[in-house]
Amino acid sequence: MLLLAVVIRSGAAEAANEDAARERLTWPVGRHSVLTLSPDVPVVYPRYIADPRRPQNSVGLMNTPGSDIPEAGDSRVSLNLGGRVPLARIEEVDGAQRWQLYLEGGYFGQFDKTESLDEIGWDGWYAGHLAFDPGSPLRFKIALRHLSAHLGDEIVQRTGRLRADYTRHDFTAAVAWARPRWMVYAEGGTTVVEDFPEQEPGVAQIGAQVSGGTPWWRGAVGWYAAIDAQSFQENDWDPGVAAEVGLNVPIPKSEHVYRIGLQGYRGRAILGEYNRINESYVAFVIGFDL
């Protein structure tokens, strides 16, 4: 009992220290708003669960029988690293409206299991977002994004393929209707700098997702299902469609989520160096969202 009391007291002290630290990073702005500088506050604009290009931490076993990437095997491993970090949030004291600035960054790589896990290619991604919650289910967001695509060293040596040097810098605006259990969204954008030959400016994205609880582990485990479609003008607006279903375990008092799911995709290749190539795949994925 004494040990239990010490643990409870220690946990309460840690929570109080966290609250105090957060208060030290909060200042009044005008008469009715406060500014918070803390990476611990929730992000105003929800993440797109089925978006295969969103920053995330995951490992996946891929089967790609419908891929046109030359000299790449059908069996692959995907490795994604990244997340998003809130920088600043301004909100009304009553919580009716919120503005938030946050950054995100990520690495997306694929490795060929049939060639000793040679790296097929990888993309680097970073972006800055400004999101707005008007105090209703609507959410709004604008973003400046950068993507740089690369070939794996081994595939260059083995095939002699030259890097296309695909890079994309764009500006996007998005709107979502977000409820506790489901969300629909639409996003569109245009390049601000065109560095890649034959690159065209437009990009569009739509999607929907739904989630629910389960009776397992006292309701700690949830299920989800999501679909996402993206089209690029440089690919004649041919949509790439992704779907994902799975289970997740949200971590209390944070946005962090463990998840395990099954993905399916058909459309323009995910890796930017192969942007003129189509592929389809299914993947079993284990991940952790930051």
Does 2 reside within a domain?
no
Here the CATH number for the domain that contains residue 226 is 2.40.230.10
The residue among 70 and 191 whose pLDDT is bigger is 191
Strand partners, 80: 58, 108
The residue among 212 and 252 whose pLDDT is bigger is 212
pLDDT at 10: 41
> What's the pTM?
0.87
Name the pLDDT band for 40 (thresholds 50, 70, 90).
confident
Q: Which of 69-78, 214-223, 264-273 has the lowest mean pLDDT?
A: 214-223
CB-based contact 200:193 (threshold 8 Å): no
Strand partners, 85: 103
Residue with tokens 């389809």: 280
The residue among 220 and 166 whose pLDDT is bigger is 166
Does 8 reside within a domain?
no
Q: Domain tally for the chain? A: 1
pLDDT at 53: 92
The residue among 211 and 216 whose pLDDT is bigger is 211
The residue among 164 and 270 whose pLDDT is bigger is 270
Q: State which amino acid sits at residue 61.
A: L
pLDDT at 130: 97
pLDDT at 238: 96
Does 35 reside within a domain?
yes
pLDDT at 19: 52
pLDDT at 129 over 50: yes
Name the pLDDT band for 5 (thresholds 50, 70, 90).
very low
Residue with tokens 């491993």: 77
Mean pLDDT of the chain: 88
4 DSSP 8-state letter = H
The residue among 38 and 67 whose pLDDT is bigger is 67
Q: How far apart are CA 269 and CA 185, in angstroms?
A: 22
The residue among 157 and 102 whose pLDDT is bigger is 102
pLDDT at 24: 61
Task: Give the residue numbers spanning the domain of 198.
Answer: 30-289
Nearest to 171 by CA among 144, 194, 204: 144
pLDDT at 71: 80
pLDDT at 4 over 80: no
pLDDT at 241: 98
Render 227-282 in DSSP notation, one character per residue.
Answer: EEEEEEGGGTTPPEEEEEEEEEEEPTTSS-EEEEEEEEEEEE-SSGGGTT-EEEEE
Retrieve residue 167's tokens. Answer: 């890079």
Q: State which amino acid sits at residue 134.
A: P
Does 14 reside within a domain?
no
pLDDT at 13: 43
Does 11 reside within a domain?
no
Which residues touch 226 (CB under 8 Å, ≥6 apart)? 48, 49, 50, 207, 208, 209, 210, 243, 244, 245
pLDDT at 33 over 90: no
Does 13 reside within a domain?
no
pLDDT at 15 over 70: no
pLDDT at 3: 33
Retrieve residue 92's tokens. Answer: 């009304």
- pLDDT tens-digit series, residues 224-278: 999 999 999 999 999 999 999 999 998 877 778 999 999 999 999 999 999 999 9
CB-based contact 50:228 (threshold 8 Å): yes
- Measured in whole angstroms, how far is the alpha carbon of residue 202 from the centre of its chain? 20
Q: How far apart are CA 49 and CA 222, in angstroms?
A: 14
Does 17 reside within a domain?
no
- pLDDT tens-digit series, residues 90-112: 998 877 799 999 999 999 999 99
Does 10 reside within a domain?
no
